[in-house]
Every structure is written in C-alpha cells, then in structure tokens.
C-alpha cells in the first residue's frame, strides 16, 4: 500500500498582540503565521523583503527574529505606521508622558461624554452613542453599580450635544464658536480630482468624525504636540 501523505499542521491565527492593534489598518496578517514562515524559510541575519508591507507585521516579526527587513509600500500612511510601530521608546517615558497629558486634558474631554445611570443617577462616562438619520437615539455606558446599560437618549444628552454643536464650551471654542484647536480638513480626493477608493459618502477628513469626537481629538493632538 502507498503510504498516505500527512497534512501539514494547521496554524491557528489568534488575535493580534497589542503592538499591532494600536491602529485600524486593514488587511493585517496574523503575526504567528508570518513568524512561522520567516523561521522556516530564513536564517538569522538574512533579509526579509516585503514589497507591499501594509501595516508592517512581516517587517516587525522579521526584526523580532533577528532578521534584517526591507518594507515597501505606495501608501505613505503605511510607511508612517510601520516606522511608528517599530520605533523604540522607553516604557517609563511613555507612561510619564501619558500621565502628564491625561492630567491636562482628561477631565475636559470626559466632560463631553458625561451622563447619569438611569437606575441610580451615578455619574458615568458614555462610551457609545448610536446615530440614525443624523440623530442620536441611544447611549451605552457601564455603571459601577449596575454594569453595562443601553438606554434611549434623554434631554440632558441633547442639551450637551447642542452646546457642542453651537460651540459654547469655553474649553474648546472661541467666542465666535470656532474650535480653538487645529484639525485636518483635507478633501478625500487626489490632486487630479479622483476620489479616494474608500471615500464613501464623506468629502473631507473631518467628516469622518462626529463634532464631539473631532474637538476632543483636536485638543488631545494639540496637547500631545506641546514641547515637553
């Protein structure tokens, strides 16, 4: 009888480790599978070339395994993500800077998301609003006493949203109602007028965010860009 060929072992892809979930770049490959191939087909000190490197998972795993790596991609966002992911920064330095930034902006930003538990009226932070036809219809939060809750939006939610929409919160807006902090408003088109592939119904970068998200991120970016 002919000896049956055994199937190669299946490699199950687990969830990405924290270093690769800092961003939402599409098409991220499973690091454990790439690690297995790099180990199998290369030796320490050899070069791994990824001509369409995307978010750089193959590049990161090659360097982790003591290989040299070259990554190429036509998308400048991809190159920025790879460089940022692979740049070494002291953990203690990250922690110290995070704590300083949080001290400066945390309360102001969280005030944009304040709500009350519908059961006990404890102050909570709204983690998600559901929108339908340009209206918020419900909110989600976790109460320390009653756990995760979903409830319809109330009058106070609309009042806070109106303040944000009208630009009347002094920490974020000028007297004219303009946001104090810079945010990108680049059109989602190439210079020749062609729309980006993933543009969908939006015309510019700022339209990808709700006004609440946009001003919170703008303030966070401004503080993060301040000199130490």
Q: Does residue 102 share a domain with residue 190?
A: yes
Q: Does residue 168 share a domain with residue 109?
A: yes
Structural domain includes residue 125: no
Q: Does residue 169 share a domain with residue 80?
A: no
Q: Does residue 52 share a domain with residue 165?
A: no
Domain count, the chain: 2
Closest-CA residue to 128 (of 119, 138, 120): 138
Structural domain includes residue 9: no
Q: Does residue 172 share a domain with residue 81?
A: no
Structural domain includes residue 189: yes
- Domain extent for 101: 91-115+156-224
Q: Does residue 173 share a domain with residue 208?
A: yes
Whether 223 and 215 have beta carbons less than 8 Å apart is answered as no
Cα–Cα distances (Å) from 223 to 69, 81, 96, 97, 105, in that order, read: 34, 21, 14, 11, 8
Structural domain includes residue 45: yes
Q: Does residue 160 share a domain with residue 49?
A: no
Instruction: List per-residue pLDDT tens for the chain, 228 residues long.
Output: 444 455 556 677 677 777 777 777 877 788 889 999 999 999 999 999 999 999 999 999 999 999 999 999 999 989 999 998 888 888 899 899 999 999 999 999 999 999 999 999 999 999 999 999 889 999 999 999 999 999 999 999 999 999 999 999 999 999 999 999 999 999 999 999 999 887 788 999 999 999 999 999 999 999 977 654
Write the DSSP symbol of residue 112: G
Write the DSSP symbol of residue 127: E
Q: Does residue 217 share a domain with residue 176?
A: yes
Structural domain includes residue 216: yes
Structure tokens at 32: 């454990």
Q: Does residue 185 share a domain with residue 99?
A: yes
Total count of residues recorded for the chain:
228
Structural domain includes residue 123: no
* Bridge-based pairing state of the strands 68-71 and 47-50: parallel
Q: Does residue 215 share a domain with residue 193?
A: yes
């Amino acid at each position: 009888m002919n000896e049956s060929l055994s199937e190669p072992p299946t490699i199950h892809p687990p969830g990405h480790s924290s270093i690769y979930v800092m961003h939402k770049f599409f098409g991220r490959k499973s690091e454990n599978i790439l690690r297995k191939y790099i180990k199998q087909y290369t030796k320490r000190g050899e070069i791994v070339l990824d001509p369409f490197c995307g978010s750089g998972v193959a590049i990161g795993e090659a360097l982790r395994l003591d290989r040299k790596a070259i990554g190429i991609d036509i998308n400048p966002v991809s190159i920025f993500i790879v460089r940022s992911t692979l740049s070494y920064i002291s953990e203690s330095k990250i922690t110290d800077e995070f704590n300083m930034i949080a001290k400066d902006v945390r309360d102001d930003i969280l005030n944009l998301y304040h709500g009350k538990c519908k059961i006990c009226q404890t102050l909570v932070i709204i983690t998600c609003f559901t929108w339908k036809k340009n209206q918020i219809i419900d909110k989600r939060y976790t109460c320390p006493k009653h756990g995760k809750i979903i409830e319809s939006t109330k009058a106070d939610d609309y009042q806070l949203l109106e303040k944000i929409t009208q630009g009347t919160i002094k920490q974020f807006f000028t007297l004219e109602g303009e946001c104090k902090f810079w945010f990108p408003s680049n059109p989602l088109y190439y210079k020749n007028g062609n729309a980006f592939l993933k543009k969908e119904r939006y015309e510019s970068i700022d339209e990808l965010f709700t006004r609440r998200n946009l001003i919170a991120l703008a303030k966070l970016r401004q503080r993060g860009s301040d000199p130490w």
